[in-house]
Amino acid sequence: MKIIDLRSDTVTKPSKAMRQAIANAEVGDDVWGDDPTVNKLQDICKELTGKPAALFVSSGCMANQLAVKCHTNPAEEIIAELNSHIVKYEIAGPAFISGVQVMPVAGVNGVLNADDVKEHIRPDWYHFPKTSLVCIENTHNRAGGSIYPIEDIKQISIVCKENNLKLHLDGARIFNASVETRISIMEYASHADSISFCFSKGLGAPVGSILCGETEFITKAHKFRKILGGGMRQAGILAAGAIYALEHNVERLKDDHKNAKHFAEEISKLDWVDIDPLSVQTNIVIFKTSRNAAELVKKFKQKNILLSNDGFSKLRAVFHLDVSEEQTEDAIKIFNTI
């Protein structure tokens, strides 16, 4: 049986047609601003988000870290949800790159509301760092692909404006939210000062993310991208995969959500799996298990199913364009034999 790789939606491989688009890409030196395909991708993303400027970057981490860098000054503080990617998986990047401290705030399902944000803004006092940025994540990875309610985003945006804070939206999987809610990327972006999203996750491109915002912000980010070694030359080869992904792989994200929800429903019937299937909103299924999670990962691997675990008692299965409906059924069957 072919391996069913449910570790992440980052494991997708470029399809033949995407590879063809990559092979045919017109390229130039993007550090000189000469790459027509990168420029085209950045223009598409400006249109999609309604932001005046966009910058193609190597990864979601780079997009987030550039946002933190360009919205803050050293010795300031940023507010981010406790289990957000920026807090959990970016290796203290805000401290290392921007010299800022993170105020991690626990949300519900990865979601902070306006009061949570308000409560954690530092008063202006010489003992305190200045709060300068709020980061939110939609969909929220560690919360199992949960969708940030638009009303909360709007209210947080108002609090940010009232308190002179910037708002960054880590939209690594914003298309998963958008196809589910039918709220446009532009609407989501309109409430934030900057938005990033990834082409290399559910959209199936091999490499790359975008950061969008005001012109002055992106001009600054462009400089820091270079400092971080992120200036890429004939990057049109990568941008072509991203454009292909935007043109062909957005609507089909719905299929991944359908597979994820069906999978969650079926495995919730097993006595060693603890999950509320209704909690699955998009393509990520995170479940607790009464068994040893690390051992289970090994067992499933022997049966050609790859899962990821957080080192504790939770396992994660992510659905993406390289997992078909049939493979979802196969995975469910194998879960029933364990």
Ligand X SMILES: Cc1ncc(COP(=O)(O)O)c(C=O)c1O
By CB under 6 A, name the binding residues for ligand X.
59-61, 64, 85, 137, 141, 170, 172, 198, 200, 209
Residue 246, phi then psi, degrees to nearest 5: -65, -35
Q: Pick the closer one to ligand X by CB: 230 or 236.
A: 230
- Report strand pairing: 130-137 vs 166-170: parallel
Q: Pick the closer one to ligand X by CB: 273 or 323.
A: 323
**Helix H or strand E segment including 24:** none
Q: Pick the closer one to ligand X by CB: 66 or 159.
A: 66
Query: What are the E-state strand segments in the chain?
Result: 4-5, 53-57, 76-81, 101-105, 130-137, 166-170, 194-198, 209-213, 273-274, 284-289, 305-306, 308-309, 314-318
Q: How far is CA 10 from the centre of its chain?
A: 10
State in angstroms the smallest separation of the CB of 46 from ligand X.
Answer: 21
Q: Edge-to-edge strand order for the sheet containing 314-318?
A: 273-274, 284-289, 314-318, 308-309
State in angstroms the smallest separation of the CB of 167 from ligand X.
Answer: 16
State in angstroms the smallest separation of the CB of 275 from ligand X.
Answer: 20
Residue with nearest beta carbon to ligand X: 60
State in angstroms the smallest separation of the CB of 64 from ligand X.
Answer: 6
Contact between 207 and 241 (Cβ < 8 Å): yes
Q: Pick the closer one to ligand X by CB: 62 or 121.
A: 62
β-partners of residue 287 are 315
Q: Pick the closer one to ligand X by CB: 172 or 185.
A: 172
Q: Pick the closer one to ligand X by CB: 18 or 273.
A: 18
What is the C-alpha separation between 167 and 216, in angstroms, rounded?
15
Q: Pick the closer one to ligand X by CB: 132 or 138.
A: 138
State in angstroms the smallest separation of the CB of 211 from ligand X.
Answer: 11
Give the burial class of 295: count Cβ atoms within 10 A of its Cβ; 0-12 exposed, 13-18 middle, 19 or more buried. Answer: exposed
State in angstroms the smallest separation of the CB of 198 from ligand X.
Answer: 5
Residue type, 139: T
State in angstroms the smallest separation of the CB of 125 from ligand X.
Answer: 32
What is the C-alpha separation between 66 and 61, in angstroms, rounded?
8
What is the C-alpha separation between 58 and 226, in angstroms, rounded?
11
Q: Pick the closer one to ligand X by CB: 190 or 308.
A: 308
What is the C-alpha separation between 328 and 262, in angstroms, rounded?
8
State in angstroms the smallest separation of the CB of 146 from ligand X.
Answer: 11
